[in-house]
Structure 1
Amino acid sequence: MNANNRKRRGGFNRGGPLGDMAAQLKQRLENFIQSNDEELILEPMEKEKRKTLHGLILKMGLRAVSKGKEPNRYMIISRRRIDPLKHIIDAQSIGLTIEQNQAIRRLIHDYPIENWHVQNYLNLENYKDNRKSNKKSPYQGPMRVPQFPKPNRGMESFRQKLPAYQMRFQILDAINRNQVTLITGGTGCGKTTQVPQFLLENAAHSRTPIRIICTQPRRLPAIAVSSRVAKERGEEHGRTVGYHIRLEQNTSQETVLTYCTSGILLRMLTADAVSSNISHIILDEIHERELNTDYLLIALKQALKSRKDLKVILMSATMEGNKEMFLNYFEDARIGHVEIPSRLYDVEKFYLSDILAMTGHVSSNQNIVSCDISPKIPRVSEFNGIVKEDQNLSNLRWDKITASVDQQKPQTSMDLNWSQITIDQPEETSKPSICTQEPGKPIVFNVSQHLNEQIPDRPPFFNPNYTQRLLNAGLDRQILVQKYSETSGIMWCEGVDPELVASVVKYLMDSPVLGSILVFLPGYEDILAVNDKIIENEKNFKTRPMIYTLHSQMNSGDQQKVFDAASNGTRKVILSTNIAEASLTIDDVVFVVDCGKVKEKSYDHESRISQLKVQWIAKSNAEQRSGRAGRCRNGFCFRLYTQEQHDVFDLTQNAEMKRAAIHEVCLHVKIFAPENVTVREFLEMAPEPPTSTSIANSLEFLEQLGALYLQDDTTIPEEEEARISYKFFNPNRDTNVEPELSRLGRLVAHMPLEPQLARLLLFGLALKCLDPILILVAALSHRDPFILPASEDARRVANSARDEFA
């Protein structure tokens, strides 16, 4: 195309009448439509004129974009791209006529699929071998002798100070002498970055070919840790050390150490069950009990039986409640254990009662009270007794008003501002009523006044010199917690109170103690809510907050900035999900604010729906989080829950295999499991196996998809022949017989998709409608493709960009 035709500049009078200009523009646009030009650039014009002309441009099926700054802002007009889905949206559904239905029925009747057809299909020689494939696995690569590192003095000095480096020879000796090595060490001891480097350096000196796979529980740690190791070795990222996560890979032919997510290693084992091209497999953060990790434990236990030279290394910062389980699990193999001493500084922990006393936090929801009514009276409020002050409550004071002790009379009680008001009424007049004096707002107990009376010189910011004095003050902490629980606490019992979190951050911002603040929150919505609250209070800070966010769906490049040092006059505030709980180490964190909650995936077999639910964390998670505060100096952890709540936390996380969908795992087991070993028997080898019901439901689902097929000789009644559901719900069916893997199932198993989506994609290919199905599967198989923005301005821009796609 001629360069002169690429852009055409319109020559309209900028100050002319709008009507005349619109007429001229319309003619120009019609000429532009008939031409081969790509763009039409108009002269600068005023905002109101541009706004009016936008409507005309859109009506003509063109696209307009304004660029530049006022008063020289101009418009670029281009052709609107044809929506590739428009023909799908406009397509009409096609129904079969009576004649067509009859023709299909005659075909099925005259040429039915007999049992011997199915048997011949299932007995194909290339089908029966579940493991062999003619295609070379994309994950295969030969073992190599690694290059010698070229670190600078600063990096080498840093490494030598790490506790893991001091245990270098003990770690290498344990790995060389055992098939399985369990390595435990506190947060920040260096095990994730140093143990793989010890193996690389040892192999380089001995000229031994090696290939190491190190799994990480999440995508961001895989990228961040591999980048750090490459930097410590003085190499380009992606050469000797790289990473491989879903839809993103940075490796080369020279790569010997790959950090990856557990799903990637699962694919490798599907293609090569004995990991013939891998010398060392490291499962990091093993305590998190991820679904794929627990499955990998079974797979590796089986692989060790035939690969005596394979080295399996299990690493975790906390083994509370898990150490004996893992030692017993690999008791058939030679197993060693190395404990790396932690270099953590002391971390002082504060619970909710301490935090309320220190910060003087008062909820803005003082007009919310808790009202408990006699159990004999049915509840009619969906809020279970939460009422507002404007419901003409009594002007009751903060004392107990108690009447008779006659137990024969029913009691109606109301809990208001920590008071228990018990009113005795005759049996016949018992109603959901309350004792009243004069109407008016309830008298609210002033928390700030109470604190100021007990501690008159309480500082408005955190000062460790006043900590002991605050804790020793004559405060009724139970009353403080009860007051909070009856206002904000009751509203946020299944979430996080952003006001309380922001209040703690405000209390820490102007503290004389230097260091960053790390806040653990369950999800993105909580991050946004707390972020907005902090920005609201920003004018009250002497130190300016630099807010960073850590979330798996946020831009990984932006998240790398969290490791940068804070500039003068600022303090880093890091709002994070549990992504910062393990693997990622931010050196300058001194304060940790732990909300005590996390989002966990759970699966309902009845509805076949997976959802994220906010749950309390385990004690092991709480320790991991608090440990993030003691990396560089003595730290402080603020736990937004009571000591009593912490005491009843589970010791460790519930294994994901016991609460998540296991369809994919069951399908992989059919390929990986030894002959004559059923899916149920194989999964029962897990440290904490799923329930039998969960396995049975998953097998039934896979059978309905056609991924599994039951060779059942049961005679189907003639009237049931047309009902495919009879095969699955036949009451006479032998439930002890496990279905076999079909060819469709083998194809599905090799695809990195949920089984139903992989099947949909294959059927789209077979039925020659791949393009629309490909778009659907891509959308359904991935989370929201849009990067989650953190700031309000970024969210506004992102929402505007989304509208462009609408």
Structure 2
Amino acid sequence: MDDVLDINSLSHEMDELTSFLLKDENTRSLNTEKKEFSENVQFKLDSYMTAVKLNEKIVPADIIERRKKLPIYTKKNELMNAIVNNHVLIIIGETGSGKTTQLPQYLKEVGLTITGRIGCTQLRRMAVKSVTKRVAQEQGCNIGEEVGYTIRFEDMTSEKTEIQYMTDGILLRECTYDKMLSNYSAVILDESHERTIDTDILLAVLKWIIRKRNDLKLIISSATLDSVKFSNYFDGATVFNISGRMFPVNIIYNPFQLYDYERSAAKTVIMINEQKERGDILVFLTGEDDIETLSDYLNYEYKPSSLHYNLKIIPVYSALPWEQQALIFEPAKKNERKVIIATNIAETSLTVDGIRYVIDSGYVKQKVYNPKKDMEVLTKVRVSQAQAIQRTGRAGRVGPGVCYRLYSQSQFDLFPSAPIPEIKRTSLTNTVLLLKKIGFINLNDIDFLDAPPTDAINFALTELELFEAIDKTGHITEIGIKMASFPLEPNLAKMLIISEVLGCTEEILTIVALLSVSNIFFRPKKKQKLADKAKSNFFTNNGDLIMMMNVYNQWHQTSQDKNWCHENFINHRMLLEANSIREQLLDIMKSRKMKLKSSFSDMTPVLKSICAGFFQNVAKKKPYLANRKKYDYITLPSNEVVFIHPGSCMHKVLPAWVVYQKVVTTSKEFMRGITPIDCSWLIEMAPSFNLQI
């Protein structure tokens, strides 16, 4: 069943009807069959004319043909039958099969949009936006009409929306105010193999929901899923396999153990450009720093000869705005070769035409949380074998390819088979708050695919009790309900709530919005001294978060001048994003009838509000020792040694007591986002916090 009117078929049927009606009227006795035929064709004609009158888009023939060429199309009827006859369906669709774009449309075709929306989760915002764009084209509509998406702080849906793509965190948050997901007739959890914390929680919540709702279809979809484990989890759910459109990919290992993978990646890019035929390159690195380092080298130091392609370098990581990330989809020019340098953001759900060569560093950055130290550290680790296979597959989506693995075959054999589920290695505070809001009083009642560590759950419960978000019986409080209404981490939500009491909601609203985006300060490698000097002009003794607020306020006074940002090494796009987030948080506050107040020049209420959010991230300066070159701090109550980051405006002020936003580990464990406090505020803002001052 195609998604658009078949005009050629309609024209043929109209010719038949016209011929029939031109017959002698005396011999034209319209029996029931002919009458139904006539009415059917007329209905189609009326529908077509209505579409023309409403200026609705007719899907081009090439898009229809493109859909038919996808591997999933060969199993369309069989798959639609499986969807109709199964409550829960597990689909193993190989890379390039078309499952991400086609499954929601097939669900629509079997009539599931009559009773509700079809929701499809993706792991990353970039995938949500790009997939929505593709499906909207295939459905012949604009984004936000029949096909839309929702990500944090951005909702592109309407009352007309039938297919909704979203991040898994968005769907989980929907459960907090619609426990049974009554707006949906079907839910697809895509790329479930990556086992993010939100995906795992959704699996548990949806397992509970489908026992209450016989009308809800649940589809678990992935390319590299442990189908037996997932099938058993859902009481023997049917597994449906779809072959992918994978072209052969030649894997080339590096026989040596390499530590400088950035240099190796650069050499491999150059070798491909100078020795290999046309085709774009995708490089997998770990994060913003090494991506920018390689980008700078290829942009400014490598000069290809006239015999080789010019390189179009495209960095891709989550901190970049969508407009820059979307450059990966633009085709290379005639004498150009695209080099996409990305984090694992490009591993799944994205088809980038033209990729022929993949360079895999074999590393990824992963959040690891230690509840005893209350520290979450972003650590560079080896990828799993499943991730390496996903990366390799990027080279075989549109033609034969080559994957250069910057590690040996023997090293690959030692990689873990799959990544450690995020639920086992990250903070659970926000997750537990959402589960409480959904209505799970006793967390032991939740059937997890892999149970989270007991220590992490207990710490989350303790932390939420300190925030006064739950009471001693484990029930959510009014403060907790209000905190859960914000799409924020609990500590940021608590800052907003306490700021109303202290009369500084305007200031804290700005700070929370700024903490919800990436770093607003630029520090280009070739202009680090100039950038540091520009940043020092904003330094204040009130700490890094107040400094950020001051930057935002000055930017507003310049009428959001982009040139002012450039001159001061400020990221204009991040400020625009923060401004948008601030407006949306303001709407939530107004909906909850929270009062907007400003403390004006008095920063004490603002500092106290920050303390209320970050009281557990507290450190005090150690006594001075003559043989110590730099002051260090001790976290309380965990007694970990930490240092003030050199980029902090507190680096030379060295207050006796501070709270910090996070700890990052490089050469040392550095505190970032530092705010000076009076230690008496800890008792005032968090009276239950057991701290030996």
* Aligned counterpart for 2:59 among listed residues 137, 142, 151: 151
* Aligned counterpart for 2:129 among listed residues 223, 246, 266: 223
Q: How does 1:783-794 map to 2 (within 5 A)?
A: 783-785=518-520
Match of 1:593, SS state, is strand
Match of residue 68 from structure 2: 160
Q: TM-score, normalised by structure 2?
A: 0.66
Contact 2:189 2:219 (8 Å CA) reproduced: yes
* Aligned counterpart for 1:802 among listed residues 569, 587, 598: 569
Shift of 1:791: 11
Shift of 1:562: 1.4
Q: How does 1:583-598 map to 2 (within 5 A)?
A: 583-598=349-364
Q: How many residues align?
A: 484
Match of residue 346 from structure 1: 248
* Aligned counterpart for 1:507 among listed residues 267, 271, 276: 271
Shift of 1:512: 4.1
Shift of 1:218: 0.5
Match of 1:230, SS state, is helix
Shift of 1:780: 2.7
* Aligned counterpart for 1:337 among listed residues 210, 216, 239: 239
Match of 2:369, SS state, is strand
Match of residue 608 from structure 2: none
Q: Cα gap change, 1:344/1:177 in structure 2, threshold over 3 Å: closer, same or farther?
A: same
* Aligned counterpart for 1:308 among listed residues 214, 224, 233: 214
Q: How does 1:626-665 map to 2 (within 5 A)?
A: 626-665=392-431
Shift of 1:790: 12
Match of 1:313, SS state, is strand
Shift of 1:611: 2.5
Please give the alpha-carbon distance, in whole angstroms, between the structure 2 residues aligned to 1:692 and 1:706: 21
* Aligned counterpart for 1:700 among listed residues 462, 481, 485: 462
Contact 1:520 1:595 (8 Å CA) reproduced: yes
Shift of 1:661: 0.5
Please give the alpha-carbon distance, in whole angstroms, between the structure 1 residues aligned to 2:495 and 2:301: 50
Q: Cα gap change, 1:324/1:804 in structure 2, threshold over 3 Å: closer, same or farther?
A: closer
Residue-by-residue CA offset, 1:513-538 (whole Å, 9 max, x unaligned) = 22111101110111111112223453
Please give the alpha-carbon distance, in whole angstroms, between the structure 2 residues aligned to 1:803 and 1:571: 31
Please give the alpha-carbon distance, in whole angstroms, between the structure 2 residues aligned to 1:804 and 1:161: 43
Match of residue 493 from structure 2: 758
Q: How does 1:172-571 map to 2 (within 5 A)?
A: 172-203=80-111, 208-319=114-225, 322-331=226-235, 335-353=237-255, 481=256, 485=257, 489=258, 492=259, 497-541=261-305, 542-571=308-337
Q: Cα gap change, 1:790/1:179 in structure 2, threshold over 3 Å: closer, same or farther?
A: farther
Q: Cα gap change, 1:668/1:550 in structure 2, threshold over 3 Å: closer, same or farther?
A: same
Amino acid at match of 1:328: N
Residue-by-residue CA offset, 1:278-299 (whole Å, 9 max, x unaligned) = 1011111000100111000010
Match of 2:296, SS state, is helix
Bigger radius of gyration among the two: 1
Q: How does 1:12-161 map to 2 (within 5 A)?
A: 150-161=58-69
Shift of 1:336: 2.0
Q: Cα gap change, 1:267/1:326 in structure 2, threshold over 3 Å: closer, same or farther?
A: same
Match of 1:169, SS state, is helix
Contact 1:347 1:635 (8 Å CA) reproduced: yes
Match of 2:150, SS state, is strand
Contact 1:203 1:210 (8 Å CA) reproduced: no
Shift of 1:606: 3.0
Contact 1:239 1:251 (8 Å CA) reproduced: yes
Contact 2:295 2:315 (8 Å CA) reproduced: no
Amino acid at match of 1:652: A
Amino acid at match of 1:696: N
Shift of 1:548: 1.2
Shift of 1:746: 2.0
Residue-by-residue CA offset, 1:249-295 (whole Å, 9 max, x unaligned) = 21222111111111110111111111111101111100010011100
Match of 2:141, SS state, is coil
Amino acid at match of 1:800: E
Please give the alpha-carbon distance, in whole angstroms, between the structure 2 residues aligned to 1:264 and 1:148: 30
Q: Cα gap change, 1:791/1:279 in structure 2, threshold over 3 Å: closer, same or farther?
A: farther
Match of 2:430, SS state, is helix
Shift of 1:803: 5.0
Contact 1:499 1:533 (8 Å CA) reproduced: no
Contact 1:601 1:610 (8 Å CA) reproduced: yes
Please give the alpha-carbon distance, in whole angstroms, between the structure 1 residues aligned to 2:403 and 2:418: 20
Match of 2:221, SS state, is strand
Match of 1:559, SS state, is helix
Shift of 1:610: 2.1
Please give the alpha-carbon distance, in whole angstroms, between the structure 1 residues aligned to 2:445 and 2:569: 46
Amino acid at match of 2:454: S
Contact 2:316 2:341 (8 Å CA) reproduced: yes
Residue-by-residue CA offset, 1:80-106 (whole Å, 9 max, x unaligned) = xxxxxxxxxxxxxxxxxxxxxxxxxxx
Contact 1:667 1:745 (8 Å CA) reproduced: yes
Q: Cα gap change, 1:253/1:673 in structure 2, threshold over 3 Å: closer, same or farther?
A: closer
Match of 1:638, SS state, is strand
Contact 1:170 1:338 (8 Å CA) reproduced: no
Match of 1:539, SS state, is coil
Residue-by-residue CA offset, 1:342-396 (whole Å, 9 max, x unaligned) = 121111111112xxxxxxxxxxxxxxxxxxxxxxxxxxxxxxxxxxxxxxxxxxx
Amino acid at match of 2:505: L
Amino acid at match of 2:502: L
Match of residue 511 from structure 2: 776
Please give the alpha-carbon distance, in whole angstroms, between the structure 1 residues aligned to 2:404 and 2:58: 42
Match of residue 718 from structure 1: none
Match of 1:295, SS state, is helix
Amino acid at match of 2:394: R
Amino acid at match of 1:329: Y
Match of 1:779, SS state, is helix
Shift of 1:317: 1.3
Q: Cα gap change, 1:505/1:630 in structure 2, threshold over 3 Å: closer, same or farther?
A: same
Residue-by-residue CA offset, 1:54-80 (whole Å, 9 max, x unaligned) = xxxxxxxxxxxxxxxxxxxxxxxxxxx
Residue-by-residue CA offset, 1:134-185 (whole Å, 9 max, x unaligned) = xxxxxxxxxxxxx998321110111110001111112211111111111111
Amino acid at match of 2:279: G
Amino acid at match of 2:419: Q
Q: TM-score, normalised by structure 1?
A: 0.57
Amino acid at match of 1:281: V
Q: Cα gap change, 1:571/1:602 in structure 2, threshold over 3 Å: closer, same or farther?
A: same
Please give the alpha-carbon distance, in whole angstroms, between the structure 2 residues aligned to 1:804 and 1:247: 19
Match of 2:77, SS state, is helix
Shift of 1:799: 5.6
Contact 1:230 1:241 (8 Å CA) reproduced: yes
Please give the alpha-carbon distance, in whole angstroms, between the structure 1 residues aligned to 2:135 and 2:517: 29
Match of 1:339, SS state, is strand
Shift of 1:649: 0.8
Amino acid at match of 2:173: R
Please give the alpha-carbon distance, in whole angstroms, between the structure 2 residues aligned to 1:556 and 1:521: 19
Please give the alpha-carbon distance, in whole angstroms, between the structure 2 residues aligned to 1:159 and 1:686: 36
Q: Cα gap change, 1:792/1:578 in structure 2, threshold over 3 Å: closer, same or farther?
A: farther
